[in-house]
Amino acid sequence: MPRPVIGIIGNSFLVNDEYPAHAVGHGNSRAVAEVAGAMPVLIPSDPDLVTTDDLLDRFDGFVFPGGRANVHPEEYGEQETPAHGTFDRGRDRVALPLIRAAIERGQPVFGICRGFQEFNVALGGTLHPEIRDLPGRMNHRMPPDGTLDQKFALRHVVRVEKRGLFSRLFGAEEVLTNTLHGQGIMRAGAGIEVEGFAPDDTPEALHVTGARGFAMAVQWHPEWRAAHDPVSRPLFEAFGAAAQDWSERPRMRRAV
């Protein structure tokens, strides 16, 4: 049986500060291939190169991974400030309409870190530019020093809703995750159901209510050692199963 094909949204950056490139972290590709059982393909974050309709027709599901650049605040009705950080406007213009269209179509979508925030913005929500500046919040950012293993180490508990989608996947109401983000949900968008929270009440896991397909996102990075992590593995397995189901549908039924 052919593997489903998963599009992973790329991030734009400069090689040696001068050569424009698109990239996807190895962890995302390996998690899609080894745990979701699908073929990973990078999608360039440039709206001049791809269209939403073409992407929907050629892929069986999409992963919206993390990235250093943030969603531009114009996308949720706010003015840019230094606290909002750096931006990738090409990714904004590829990812946000693709999320809306895939959810409407019932096509599987999985958001990670920035992708978690993109889900919220795509459906009309807003973001805090810097979580650690809010009263009572912890610093969720990546530690500045140490090895990758140390930076991606499990750092806090996430409590998930009892009998929710995530607790059923995890078989638990509390899980341990890493944390490597600066921004977070301020106001939830239409249909965004936040099911998981950090100890400081920062939203960490969501699904889209009423979605006809897999439409889940997490604020942490489950792609890190996904094949061996008891929290990450069921997320990618469930996403892969949804993509496999989509791939087996007759083409005419997919758009219904």
Options 75, 118, 204, 223, the catalytic residue: 223
Q: Which residues of 132-157 are buried (b: 16+ CB within 10 A; e: fewer)?
A: eeeeebeebebeeeeeeeebbeebbe
**Among the listed residues 35, 14, 30, 16, the one whose alpha carbon sits nearest the alpha carbon of residue 169:** 35
* Known catalytic residue at 223: yes
Please calculate the CA angle 28-33-172 and round it to the nearest 5 degrees: 70
Instruction: Return the DSSP state at 83.
Output: G
* Total length of the chain: 256
Options 113, 140, 181, 207, the catalytic residue: 113
CA 53 to chain centre: 20
**Among the listed residues 199, 74, 63, the one whose alpha carbon sits nearest the alpha carbon of residue 137:** 199
The answer to whether 115 and 122 have CB atoms below 8 angstroms apart is no
Cite the active site residues.
Answer: 113, 221, 223
